[in-house]
Amino acid sequence: MPIFSYKGLDKTGKEIKANINTENLALAKSKLKGAGIMLLDIKEQKSDGLKEKKVISFGKGISTDELSLMTRQLATLTKAKIQIVEALSALVEQSENPKLRIVLAETRQKVNEGSSLAEALGDYPSIFNNVYINMVEAGEASGTLEIVLLRLAEFTEAQVRLRNRIKGAMTYPVIMAIVGFIMMSIIFIFVIPKITKIFVTMKKKLPLQTEICIWISEFLQGYWWAVILAMFGSYYLFKKYIRTKSGESKWHRLLLHLPLIGELTTMINVSRFCSTLATLLQSGVPILTCMTIVRNLVANVHMQQTILDARTQIQEGASMTGPLLKSRLYPPMVTHMIKLGEKSGELEPMLQIVAENYQDQVDTKLSGLTSVLEPIMMVLMGLAVAFVVFSVVVPMMELNSIGR
């Protein structure tokens, strides 16, 4: 059922602004009139702005925290054997975010008209990504929707925790970088031009570093707007490029080989793979369905392809460890533990052990990230300041010697 927002006056003449959830506009007006409200304005709320996946978006939308809470609530309701349409109705009433409430109401209407939940959610790619949609689809197909939704809730909560830890590790270096950039911009735009006037009087060839410093200063004075446009344009083009199949493949390959980041990326994806596979297997989900779900949970496309190859191996009656070993993307300990689990019939406990181990390693790596980045930032800022100081001091010393 659609949601209508209205403005009106109650029996005492007090202005009211609220929403009403009914099947159509005529029924909404009838209900409000029956409640003694004189309508001033009423319109249906739409979610058209949320149906397109934007490269860059502005404004308040639907946070990962809200999405996680909604998913967990939906998992709880479906586990209690409540029909999906009724569960969505309950979520519409409970949701505090107006945008999410509209999306849930429209989703409920589509499901009520015969669409699957995955198809209905797929109309909102800016909120529900491919991983979310594919997992819901797999859950519906296998009859394990409540298990998949619960795992999705845990997954999104883990994303929030991981993002917060990364933010915590990056806050100090980012602040230092921003402050350093602002300080250097002020020096090059306002300070260097004044000193340049003094250098002109020397009528001598300036050192190379001083000429570079002056050139940067003149460029920033004349084309500061081009620098800002270039930064935003580069970001936009980069985001657009990595959304292409070729760009995504190259970017994900690079992420796996970058210092620090590559190891962290592998650990996060291995932890997701093992913990999700263990949970689904323990819940009685067929192994082939499990592999489809965990493939969509892994963020790196090359690691996804390896899981797809492992699924094919399982389908042919072989072990999943062959493709994992061949890809060299999964650490030897992971493949060894999985192989032992397959042989002993204790695959789920083995996977859980690996998942917990790698989650601990991720926490340790993130904790150590700050201690690594801080000295790097200090050295870079020191080098930048030293470059400016020597570019200015050397000619000034020469000027003083001439004066004597």
Q: Is 328 helix (H, G, I), strand (E, B) or coil?
A: coil
| Percent of the chain predicted with pLDDT > 90 | 12
pTM value is: 0.65
**pLDDT higher at 403 or 218:** 218
- The answer to whether 269 and 298 have CB atoms below 8 angstroms apart is yes
Q: Edge-to-edge strand order for the sheet containing 15-21?
A: 15-21, 3-9, 38-44
Residue 58, pLDDT > 50, answer no
**pLDDT higher at 325 or 194:** 325
DSSP 94-130: H---HHHHHHHHHHHHHHHTT--HHHHHTT-TTTS-H
Per-residue pLDDT tens over the stretch 156-167: 787 777 778 777
| Highest mean pLDDT, choosing among 51-65, 233-247, 381-395 | 233-247
Tell me the average pLDDT across 50-66.
55
Tell me the average pLDDT across 239-257.
92
Sign of CA dihedral 77, 80, 84, 87: negative
Residue 251, pLDDT > 90, answer yes
**Smallest Cα–Cα separation from 389: which of 222, 224, 207, 223?**
207
Per-residue pLDDT tens over the stretch 185-224: 888 888 888 877 777 666 667 778 888 888 888 888 888 8
pLDDT computed for residue 238 by the predictor:
94
pLDDT computed for residue 48 by the predictor:
52
Phi, psi of 63 (to 5 degrees): -80, 165
Residue 50, pLDDT > 60, answer no
**HSE-up of residue 178 (Cα within 13 Å, Cβ side):** 6
pLDDT computed for residue 22 by the predictor:
67
Average model confidence (pLDDT) across the chain: 81
Residue 54, pLDDT > 50, answer no
Tell me the average pLDDT across 10-24.
69
Give start and end residues of each alpha helix (H) in 261-330: 261-282, 287-297, 301-315, 321-327
Tokens of 121: 């959610």
pLDDT computed for residue 55 by the predictor:
36
| Percent of the chain predicted with pLDDT > 70 | 85
Provide the pLDDT confidence category of residue 40 given band limits of 50, 70 and 90.
low
DSSP 8-state code for residue 206: P
Provide the pLDDT confidence category of residue 309 given band limits of 50, 70 and 90.
very high
Per-residue pLDDT tens over the stretch 141-155: 778 888 888 878 877
Residue 53, pLDDT > 50, answer no
